[in-house]
A and B are shown apart, each in its own frame.
Chain A
């Protein structure tokens, strides 16, 4: 049994995991597939099974590019990226769990890096 609540993930994401028909199109189209321990289709059935802790502990939650490919292409409207978002938020909303800290930013800058990259990374990786 997971310490964290499946219901919380479902509520935060707005996803109905039971709509999934296991076609795998989300993972097939995911640009981060090769970098992930758990892939988009696995997020769907692992949330369904309540394996929330495992997903929260996986680096996969920081590999989603939020490119909406799986959101657009899911034939059942399950939209797995929303589960990744909800799980990442469950982690970074905890005290001291930011994945990227503001103090880390100066070392990551180069003269051409657009502000868009910084604000987006902070939105995605920290609270």
Chain B
């Protein structure tokens, strides 16, 4: 089984672990991530403005490139996932935007949102199946209490991303359970870490990330997992050292359980 794969800018740089473990685990689970040729950075954020066109085209080009290969497009970074799905939704549902974007790109065939976009977690849940993942577990993570940190971009806007219940998600908890560990539910798991504001207002990022970390610690998590490089950064760098839990990419945890971490 081969998927088109959009790694995004950060997975080629600071978040190489997120990418590497994902590819290794995919091999074990019987699918391949084939990187799109000449993809461009998605921009990290999808503009909410109706009159922003050019800044959304990199995502549309990636979507069209997967369409040309007749494949589902898989992505790992929460931000890329958010941008690709929102762009796809607009190309399908927003006629004015779709027309403008197509006029701009002058493709051989107009792109109208045909590509299916899946987050890697959705591949595990909906294509492979968590029961099948469980069968491949070599080192069950028994006794570990793990908090899933969703943050904002993986789930919202729920109507567009269609990944999970945005207020009471369970996709990562189900994965944690399949790996033999115990998921820890805590209230802040889908609240924002402060995101890009760390660039100009460290104090705000610290407040937000610290609230998440303290809440997870109160609920007695041993460690946190996330799909987002910026969440990982904020939770690791913008929280007080005392009481800081380890934060890993979910793919690293998966690799550990599947016995392909080293």
Q: Which residues of A contact B (CB under 8 A)?
A: 11-14, 31-32, 34-35, 62-63, 65-69, 71-72, 79, 81-82, 85-86, 89, 99-100, 108, 110, 112-121, 123-125
Contact = CB atoms under 8 A, between A and B. Distances in A.
B176 interface: no
Given A68-B157, A114-B229, A62 B200 contact: yes
Residue of B158, B200, B228 with most partner-chain A CB within 10 A: B200
A45 B232 CA distance: 36
B204 A66 contact: no
A34 B204 CA distance: 9
A117 B47 contact: no
Contacts of A110: 237
A36 to B, nearest CB: 10
A13 B48 contact: yes
Contacts of A82: 48-49
Contact of B152 (A12, A63, A68, A85): A68
Contacts of A100: 199-200
A32 B230 contact: no
Residue of A32, A85, A120 with most partner-chain B CB within 10 A: A120
A65 B194 contact: yes
Nearest to A73: B167
Given A69-B191, A114-B230, A116-B79, A121 B196 contact: yes
A13 B50 contact: yes
A71 B230 CA distance: 21
Interface in B214-241: 228-230, 232-233, 236-237
Contacts of B233: 112-114, 117
